[in-house]
């Protein structure tokens, strides 16, 4: 799809819909009429939300985990420090525009599934808790087991020690990525007496 200077993507979508409609019927429908009809039905042009592809099996596991975690108290969650890595692709904006209703933001048909590609990217690691945000660490290449352990040692442990000085308990919450569950990482966590939320 090509765009003229100053032309919004929602305009292009309406123009395309009108063109397809006109090709299939004898009456002519304008782009303006198409836009009016979409808006009167509650639809607006929006950028599709991105979310990682999750298999049906993992969706069920996540729902079960969420049902168990929702019972936890605020006192419990104040102990939790969330950590994770994120890959950020650095070529193109990857934006996709759709027409949807305000209540459909996270419906599967209105979201854009993300998958790992070979595009140039950077990898970052970060952590946060109820009362603090840890450093954002830029890593070279993908995060290996050794790199993850070194990140925990250099960037996570100081945060934990600071919490201990303030008599705050710490529960580490990372996901089930293989590098997080590797033996060398488990040994490091045990050696540093870190309680983990599975």
Say yes or no: 29 and 64 in one domain.
no
| Predicted local confidence at residue 18, as pLDDT | 73
Query: Domain total for the chain?
Result: 2
| Predicted local confidence at residue 6, as pLDDT | 38
For residues 88 and 122, the answer to whether their CB atoms sit within 8 Å is yes
3 within domain boundaries: no
Between 130 and 110, the higher pLDDT residue: 130
For residue 24, the enclosing domain spans 9-41
- Average predicted confidence (pLDDT) for the chain: 80
- The span from the CA of 7 to the CA of 45, in Å, is 13
175 within domain boundaries: yes
Say yes or no: 74 and 168 in one domain.
yes
Say yes or no: 66 and 138 in one domain.
yes
137 within domain boundaries: yes
Question: What SS3 class is residue 34?
Answer: helix
In terms of pTM, does the model score above 0.85? Answer: no
Which tens digits make up the pLDDT trace of 150-177?
A: 999 999 999 999 999 999 999 999 988 8
Pick from 85, 87, 108, 90: which is nearest to 98 by CA?
A: 108
Asked if residue 114 has pLDDT above 90, the reply is no
Give the CATH number of the domain where residue 151 resides: 3.30.420.10
Which tens digits make up the pLDDT trace of 44-102?
A: 766 666 666 778 898 899 899 999 999 999 999 999 999 999 877 665 555 666 667 77
């Amino acid at each position: 799809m090509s765009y003229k200077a100053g032309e919004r993507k929602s305009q292009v979508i309406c123009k395309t819909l009108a063109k397809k409609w006109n090709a299939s019927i004898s009456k002519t429908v304008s782009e303006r009429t198409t836009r009016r009809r979409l808006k009167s039905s509650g639809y607006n042009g929006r950028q599709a939300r991105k979310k990682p592809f999750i298999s049906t099996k993992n969706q069920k596991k996540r729902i079960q985990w969420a049902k168990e975690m929702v019972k936890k108290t605020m006192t419990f969650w104040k102990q939790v420090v969330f950590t994770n890595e994120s890959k950020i692709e650095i070529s193109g904006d990857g934006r996709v525009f759709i027409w949807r209703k305000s209540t459909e933001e996270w419906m599967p048909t209105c979201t854009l599934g993300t998958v790992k590609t070979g595009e140039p990217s950077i990898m970052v690691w970060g952590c946060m808790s109820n009362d603090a945000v840890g450093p954002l660490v830029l890593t070279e290449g993908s995060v290996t087991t050794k790199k993850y352990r070194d990140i925990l040692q250099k960037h996570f442990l100081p945060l934990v020690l600071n919490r201990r000085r303030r008599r705050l308990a710490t529960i580490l919450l990372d996901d089930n990525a293989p590098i997080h569950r590797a033996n060398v990482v488990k040994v490091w966590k045990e050696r540093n007496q870190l309680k983990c939320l599975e």
